[in-house]
Amino acid sequence: MLMGTPTGKKTDGSTALDRRAFLAVLKGAGKFVIFFVLLWPFARFINFNPPKKPKLVTVNRALKEDGFIIEADFILFDTDAGPVAVSRTCTHLGCILNYHELEKMLICPCHASRFSKQGKRLAGPAQLDLPTFRVEKTGADEVTGYIVAVI
Ligand code: FES
């Protein structure tokens, strides 16, 4: 059985200081873990979002003049400023938007928020514009399709 002495030296040659040093390291590591465990909820609280890697969606057909192409995540419009990809997720409560060709606007089937082809909020309970996604044209001389970076 190991017995301590008043000087802290044990009969097996180890000292009480070794144990204290080990506990100090453990205590420091615990603070480190607690710091990071609390940091993530705090980061979410202050609305910190790490940048997401975009999902690249390939559209293998060209837009007709003033036309549109509906995909699962976005609607691609031909505008005077070039192709614009507008999210189909309503900024109110997340319903999937439909494009109404006669009215030339996106209308939410849930609570009737309305958005322009550029994603601008026009009416309804939604308070934010729709996100738009980066669009790259594909094809050498003439446009054969698009690559849309959906975030
Ligand atoms: S979810 Fe679109 S208006 Fe409410």
What is the distance between the alpha carbons of residues 151 and 148, in angstroms, rounded to a whole number?
Answer: 9
Give the per-residue pLDDT at 44.
Answer: 83
The reported pTM is 0.69
H/E stretch holding 137 reads strand 132-138
Give the pLDDT score at 127. 97
Mean pLDDT of the 64-91 span: 95
Q: Give the atom of ligand 1 at the shortest distance from the alpha carbon of 93.
A: 1
What pLDDT is attached to residue 57? 96
Q: Which atom of ligand 1 is nearest to the CA of 113?
A: 3
Residue 105 pLDDT: 96
Looking at every residue in the chain, the average pLDDT score rounds to: 89
Which pLDDT band holds residue 13 (cuts at 50, 70, 90)? low
Q: Pocket of ligand 1, candidates 87, 89, 92, 129: which has the most ligand atoms within 8 Å of its Cβ, to mutate?
A: 92
Residue nearest to atom 3 of ligand 1 (CA): 111
Q: Measuring from atom 1 of ligand 1, which residue has the nearest CA?
A: 93
| Residue 14 pLDDT level (bands cut at 50, 70, 90) | low
Q: How far is the CA of 97 from the centre of ligand 1 (A)?
A: 9
- Which pLDDT band, with edges at 50, 70 and 90, does 1 fall under? very low
> pLDDT value at position 11?
63
113 lines ligand 1 (CB under 6 A): yes
User: Which residue in 80, 81, 85, 56 sits closest to 68, CA to CA?
Assistant: 85
* Geometric angle at alpha carbon 40, from 37 and 44, rounded to 5°: 150
The length of the chain is 151
